[in-house]
Amino acid sequence: MKCSWSTSELNLQLDEQVSDDLIMHLNGCNPFCNGENITALRTHIDRGDAFSIYPSASNLFICDEQFIKSCTHPVALFKYYEKKIGNGKIPITIGKRDDILDIEPVTYSDDLGHTYQELLDTVILDVGSLKKTAVTTPPDIFYYLSNHNGNSNPFCRFLSEFLSLMAISDRVIASDENLNKFEFQIFTKDNVKKFRFTWQDVESMNNNFWYSCYKWITSDGQKSVDAKLKRNIVREAIAKHYSEDSVKSFNEESKSELIQIFDNILRLIVSGRTTEYFETQKTLKAEYIDIYSKNFESFSNVINAILALIVALVAGMYGVLFAQGEVFDVFSPNKSVGILLILMLVAEIFVLISSIAKFISHNSYIKKLRNINSDKLMISDEDQEYLKNNRTGLVTFVYITLTVIIALTIGGICWFMRS
């Protein structure tokens, strides 16, 4: 297979047998064919003629080694790859089956793309006009292509390393106007670790160091651990243990040592978080007891106030009527009883307002506590279920009781104060 690129146009010449599926995909890469000239394309291929295709909008990864080599800066490169995956597209490439060129799927899943985008979202990208939204293809695809069919493709490996380092870095800067020299910065507590590379520097970025780091971050191991936390572990480990020279001297033999460093740091963090988890559970239990006590106290206070009002009403009735030898007739107007009921109404309204203020204050306290637990202590909503307002029944009972008493008091005032 011979190929050459002119911007996004691929001039291709196939000197081997080609499957019908591959011809269909190749034909789909030519916007001028509209799927009508498959037979003509096969005739060209069978005769060994050269033909042109435009695979930028296709999910077919073809002659990527030569394309990467032809790009003098990353903006044009990522523009070409921007729409090759996503929207349900499964990336494919060309492989051999029974000495026939055919399509084969590239090892990829949508989760890989989503994870890469999440990591890239927090990176400061200062590379000319390049936008993060244009960098849609994760390094996993180019790592696969770098070893495809047993061939070593250094430019695909370089791009896999370049993309991996982008996701690991805090900031990426193009240090010249031609976008040929790059500085990748990793921020640490003590300083800024800097790694400098030249575009298409296949000699310096050919040992899979950065992809090994990236793969550990996105691996399925420790699924409960957030990828951004694992990236912070990688950043700290690289800042403390690796210089530019040690990165360049990295090889497959030292890969296990690299992964062991990451695993050990993660194990220490997880161990510390386990202790923190149990301490948090103790705190939550103490908060639950405190809030339950406050709930019961608030409810008891309101009930006691209602009972006190009833007792005061009875005492008032006794002092106004029975102590003075009056005969109480519920069907006759009685201004003394009416005045007593007016005083009771004032007290009832005060109790109602006081209970509403207590309930509002309590709900505000719970809301602030939930925010503190979530933002400062990073306690999940599931662990704070007990903070949800579970007093609906009690509050409803209090409000209904007070409403009924107030309504009866107003009715009594109107009844006894009538002329």
Please state the rounded mean pLDDT for residues 196-211.
Answer: 90
For the cut 60, the answer to whether the pLDDT of residue 202 exceeds it is yes
Please state the rounded mean pLDDT for residues 354-365.
Answer: 77
pLDDT of amino acid 279: 67
pLDDT of amino acid 281: 60
* Cα 237 to Cα 163: distance, rounded to the nearest angstrom: 19
For the cut 80, the answer to whether the pLDDT of residue 322 exceeds it is no
Per the structure, the complete domain to which residue 292 belongs is given by: 274-416
Overall domain count for the chain: 2
Residues 97 and 149 in one domain: yes
Return the percentage of the chain with pLDDT > 70, whole number.
82
Give SS3 for 181: strand
Residues 115 and 201 in one domain: yes
For the cut 60, the answer to whether the pLDDT of residue 308 exceeds it is yes
Point out the least confidently predicted range of 258-272, 333-347, 379-393, 401-415: 379-393
Please state the rounded mean pLDDT for residues 129-155.
Answer: 88
Residues 316 and 400 in one domain: yes
Point out the least confidently predicted range of 56-65, 188-197, 386-395: 386-395
For the cut 50, the answer to whether the pLDDT of residue 35 exceeds it is no
* Cα 232 to Cα 225: distance, rounded to the nearest angstrom: 12
For the cut 60, the answer to whether the pLDDT of residue 382 exceeds it is no
Residues 235 and 286 in one domain: no
Q: Report if residue 27 sits inside a domain.
A: no
Mean pLDDT over the full length of the chain: 81
Q: Is residue 134 within 8 Å of residue 78, measured between CB atoms?
A: yes
For the cut 90, the answer to whether the pLDDT of residue 65 exceeds it is yes
Q: Report if residue 32 sits inside a domain.
A: no
